[in-house]
Amino acid sequence: MESTMINAARQWRLKSHPHGLPVAENFELVTEAVREPRDGEVVMRLHYVSIDPGLRLFMNPTSHSEWEDRNEEGGRAVLVGEGEPIKAWGVGEVIASRSQRFPIGTFVRDIAATASVQEYACLHEDELLAVQADVAPLPAHLGILGMTGLTAYFGMIKVAKPRAGDTVVVSGAAGAVGSIAVQIAKMMGCRVVGIAGGPLKCTWLRDELGVDVAIDYKARNLGAALREACPDGMDIYFDNVGGEMLDTCLANLAQRARIVSCGAIAEYNRTGAPYALANWFAIMSKLATWTAFNYFDYLPQSSEGIAALTEWLQQGLIKAPERIVEGIENFPAAMVMPFSGDHVGKLMLKVV
Ligand SMILES: NC(=O)c1ccc[n+]([C@@H]2O[C@H](COP(=O)([O-])OP(=O)(O)OC[C@H]3O[C@@H](n4cnc5c(N)ncnc54)[C@H](OP(=O)(O)O)[C@@H]3O)[C@@H](O)[C@H]2O)c1
């Protein structure tokens, strides 16, 4: 192993827990030395860091106790305390190694957001997966071939279980997970309705991703648009948004519909009481099922998802655009972008 001896590496830390939308004052950019790897560890030089809405949840004080339970079970520390590095997924190159599995020069990504928003990460080999940089450019290993793509894949294939002819509605359809989820549902022979904000996103969903109907929820009454787009109701609602949008979709379910809760971005910055659903009785009257799932649940099956997504990508069957923000110093600005919705596809920060 060569000595790393990096004395000044930049790292973003949580200065204070955000109240509502994060602000720059919640974060602190520090510079410190990178420690030498111990047995089984490597130092990874991060090239890209994934910016996900879920990072905002990691910044909550202790409100997501189920994740703390998961930490105890699986040793995955996703919650971030004040003064701690901001947890995030990353991809990069091994520059120092005391791991047989990942020698210097290997490209790797982390499994559970321990790479964090920093220039270098000292991680144990069990926290890492090797990535094939010749199969796809590095950003793709954070996007379609990383946590994001796997979430869309397992959420759609294993949880929603689409059947040909199903009407599938996806919210946040132009986002990182949603844009992959709609394409998978199309490949499964479904009629796909995407919900997104703004005419550009809706045109892109129709013209580039092939969704059957794209609803601009900012321009139209969503309930009326859904009744028009799904006259027989929706068989699957793949929910990335939660809150009022979920409520409106509940009012338009087909008999025995499947609701899949992937995320609830509309709720992540809420400071008051959570949105109270008015239409929950539709679950009973439509004999619907409602399943929430988490990317971590499917970690043992990751290789299946990566293989399928890689094949679709290589065959040109799936598109996976990226929005790359340059410079680690721009993390605070990037962190609010998922909530303003001004990007399509996968958002990430270029570190190197
Ligand atoms: N279950 C899991 O393991 C897992 C893993 C990854 C992600 N997720 C969840 O999946 C969802 C999507 O993640 P992503 O990575 O695709 O995010 P993303 O690429 O950042 O896209 C998020 C999109 O959500 C829309 N949005 C934001 N605030 C909204 C609001 N108040 N109402 C309606 N739409 C809103 C915006 O698009 P518009 O312009 O269209 O509004 C935004 O572009 C999130 O809820 C995330 O937490 C879950």
CATH number at residue 330: 3.90.180.10
Ligand 1: lining residues by beta carbon, under 6 Å: 52-54, 148, 151, 172, 174-178, 196-198, 201, 240-241, 245, 262-266, 293-295, 338-339, 341, 347
> What gap in Å lies between CA 100 and CA 79, rounded to an integer?
30
> What gap in Å lies between CA 239 and CA 160, rounded to an integer?
11
Same domain, 343 and 223: no
Record the tokens describing residue 219, joined without a space: 């321009």
Same domain, 187 and 223: yes
Which residue CA neighbors atom 30 of ligand 1 most closely?
A: 266
Same domain, 248 and 328: no
Q: How far apart are the CA of 171 and the centre of ligand 1, in A?
A: 8
The reply to whether the predicted model has a pTM over 0.85 is: yes
* Side-chain half-sphere exposure of 288, counting CA atoms within 13 A: 26
Same domain, 123 and 107: yes
Which atom of ligand 1 lies at the shortest distance from residue 179's CA?
A: 16
Same domain, 285 and 164: yes
Which residues are CB-contacts of 97 (< 8 A; sequence separation ≥ 6)? 1, 37, 42, 43, 103, 104, 106
Per residue, the 3-state secondary structure of 293-350, as one string, reads CCHHHHHHHHHHHHHHHHHHHHCCCCCCCEEEEECHHHHHHHHCHHHHCCCCEEEEEE
Which residue CA neighbors atom 32 of ligand 1 most closely?
A: 266
List the domain range (segments joined by +) for residue 74: 9-143+320-350
Which residue CA neighbors atom 37 of ligand 1 most closely?
A: 341
What amino acid occupies position 72? E
> What per-residue confidence (pLDDT) applies to 78?
72
pLDDT along the chain (352 residues), means of 10: 77 97 98 96 98 95 55 58 96 98 98 97 97 95 98 98 98 98 98 98 98 98 98 98 98 98 97 95 98 95 97 97 98 98 95 96
Same domain, 82 and 39: yes
Domain count, the chain: 2
Q: How far apart are the CA of 175 and the centre of ligand 1, in A?
A: 6
